[in-house]
Amino acid sequence: MPDPAAAAPRWALHPDRALPADPVTRPVARQILDATRDLPIVSMHGHVDAGVLARDERFDDPASLLVVPDHYLVRMLVSQGVPHEALGLPRRDGGAVQSDPREIWRTFASHWHLFRGTPTRFWMEHVLVEVLGVTERLSAATADAAYDTIAERLAEPGFRPLALLDRFGIEIIATTDPASADLADHADLAARGWGERIVPTFRPDAVLHVDRRGWADDVALLGERAGVPISSYRDFLRALEARRWAFVDAGARATDHGHVLADTTPMAETDATAVFASALRGDVDPAAARAFSAHMLFEMARMSTQDGLVMQLHPGALRDHDPHVAATLGHDVGYDIPVATEYVKALRPLLSAFGHHPDLRLVLFTLDEDTFSRELAPLAGVYPAVRLGAPWWFLDSPDGMRRFREAVTDTAGFANTTGFVDDTRAFLSIPARHDLSRRIDAGFLARLVVEHRLDLDEALETAVDLAYGLPRAAYARQTTPAGA
């Protein structure tokens, strides 16, 4: 009996994937996509570990590269009854989990059908077929052959991380780093000539939420890194300012803030001082902690007007929805869930103070797409400081991206957006994600052309702006590093 796997057709991606289906719009979309297909990638919001790039070592194996760290993938498998342990996610207590990467891969491959219709399927197909050369669709029957193909490819010198930057056409990539990061990996990369291409992003969340577990230790480390012993609120501000300038010196273009709420109500200095002192004693209450976090977003905007760092705000995720999973496995394993988010009243204090400031650039993201047309587009459509970030996380899907363009373009246009952000730890998926975004934008622009709402030359120019020009402009360096 012939082997069904051997008889299967070669796995290939359709050149028109994610383009409009109707025969009038699709040829126009193809032409628009061709204008962006080979443009460099500007990856200014991601979570690739700077250490991976600095060490530039070969990736270990297919499972540890593609399965274990991908919370999109893990959460789908877990939702269908696959235990975390079977996927090799390490436990905080050091308990036993599956350690054989081939077995982890087999578990993933045997559940490939679960990803039908999801953006994860789109990205992973691109990675497997276009990047890694897998020739047969994943299944239990083809798992081992795919594993061997990928392992052989990862052993090639051209698949080291820095070589992949060139292969993928990544012009610049930003990592995301805590405020207390020593930035040693970035210093190493800069010394080797990568400083303008691999840059850090300042992420202070760990020290802005004073009721967060481990906050006092993080504040102490912040002070150590800044050379500012922190015993008061004013010391805290000085340390944050010093660290921001250290990031600027290291090439940073932006900050990144993942608060639950978008509230930016400032506090009187006496009140902020009292809350900070209470937190240092370990007795701050939740309401005071929320007020302090809101106040610190206002302070982050103020500091951005001084050091030029773009302020990225992406509220609306209730982190670690299952506390038992968080206690067992830690963060970023798929249990961050979107919540409804209010922006208009929440951002009014910040925008009243800085919305017209020439040196503030505030990029707003959301997990609550109900706010696209009602709140976010009107804000970006009037305040010079505000730009709209791309649909991300749970919304970075083909239909989510289309809904975004349909909802915000009427009010904010194209120029008040910042292009695509890939927001990924999955390094190999970066080109796949940007490719999907360019396809969806090509389809949207093609519809405007065939409806005679836009001329083709305008659509081509806009497509290039969305893929390349707008992100470069939004994240351009606007200040001279301290000490330069």
| Residue 261 and residue 305 in one domain | yes
| Residue 200 and residue 313 in one domain | yes
Confidence of residue 396 (pLDDT cuts 50, 70, 90): very high
Confidence of residue 24 (pLDDT cuts 50, 70, 90): very high
Note the pLDDT of residue 332: 83
Does 274 have pLDDT greater than 90? yes
| Residue 145 and residue 282 in one domain | no
Note the pLDDT of residue 49: 94
Alpha helices in 161-285 (DSSP H): 161-168, 184-191, 205-208, 215-226, 233-249, 269-281
For residue 235, the domain's CATH number is 3.20.20.140
Does 419 fall in a domain? yes
Does 164 fall in a domain? no
| Residue 25 and residue 93 in one domain | no
Distance CA 13, CA 329 (A): 36
- Percent of the chain at pLDDT > 90 equals 94
- Mean pLDDT (whole number) for 62-74: 94
For residue 151, the domain's CATH number is 1.10.2020.10
Does 65 fall in a domain? yes
Q: Find where tokens 């004073």 sit.
A: 210
Per-residue pLDDT tens digits for 338-368:
999 999 999 999 999 999 999 999 999 999 9
Range of the domain at 314: 14-55+169-474
Instruction: Show the tokens assigned to 65.
Output: 């590269």
Q: What value does the mean pLDDT of the chain take?
A: 95
Confidence of residue 425 (pLDDT cuts 50, 70, 90): confident
Does 5 fall in a domain? no
- Mean pLDDT (whole number) for 420-445: 95
Per-residue pLDDT tens digits for 313-338:
999 999 899 999 999 998 888 899 99
Note the pLDDT of residue 377: 98
Does 6 fall in a domain? no
Instruction: Show the tokens assigned to 236.
Output: 């805290």
Confidence of residue 78 (pLDDT cuts 50, 70, 90): very high
Phi and psi, residue 479, nearest 5° = -145, 155
| Residue 356 and residue 273 in one domain | yes
| Residue 200 and residue 237 in one domain | yes
- Mean pLDDT (whole number) for 164-186: 97
Query: In which element (H, E) is residue 297 found?
Result: helix 286-307
- Mean pLDDT (whole number) for 10-27: 96
| Residue 151 and residue 86 in one domain | yes
- Nearest-Å Rg of the Cα atoms of the chain is 23
| Residue 187 and residue 233 in one domain | yes
Distance CA 109, CA 105 (A): 6
Does 8 fall in a domain? no
| Residue 333 and residue 188 in one domain | yes
CA angle at 123 for the pair 252 and 412, rounded to the nearest 5°: 60
Q: What are the residues facing 199 on neighbouring strands?
A: 174
Note the pLDDT of residue 5: 47
Note the pLDDT of residue 9: 76
Q: Strands 310-313 and 254-257: what pairing? A: parallel
Note the pLDDT of residue 481: 46
Note the pLDDT of residue 47: 92
| Residue 117 and residue 266 in one domain | no
Does 456 fall in a domain? yes
Distance CA 240, CA 223 (A): 8
Note the pLDDT of residue 3: 54
Note the pLDDT of residue 479: 57
Distance CA 464, CA 39 (A): 8
Instruction: Decide which of 98, 130, 159 is a domain's last residue.
Output: 159
Instruction: Decide which of 159, 193, 212 is a domain's last residue.
Output: 159
Number of neighbours of residue 260 by Cβ within 10 angstroms:
15
| Residue 330 and residue 402 in one domain | yes
Does 194 fall in a domain? yes
Q: What are the residues facing 318 on neighbouring strands?
A: 337
| Residue 141 and residue 206 in one domain | no
Note the pLDDT of residue 372: 97
Instruction: Decide which of 140, 159, 178 is a domain's last residue.
Output: 159
Count of domains for the chain: 2
> Which long-range CB contacts under 8 A does 413-417 form with residues at least 24 apart?
413/381, 414/462, 414/465, 414/466, 414/470, 415/465, 415/470, 416/377, 416/380, 416/381, 416/386, 416/387, 416/388, 417/380, 417/387, 417/388, 417/389, 417/390, 417/466, 417/470
Does 1 have pLDDT greater than 80? no
Confidence of residue 7 (pLDDT cuts 50, 70, 90): low
Per-residue pLDDT tens digits for 245-268:
999 999 999 999 999 999 999 999
Per-residue pLDDT tens digits for 96-137:
999 999 999 999 999 999 999 999 999 999 999 999 999 999
Does 478 have pLDDT greater than 90? no
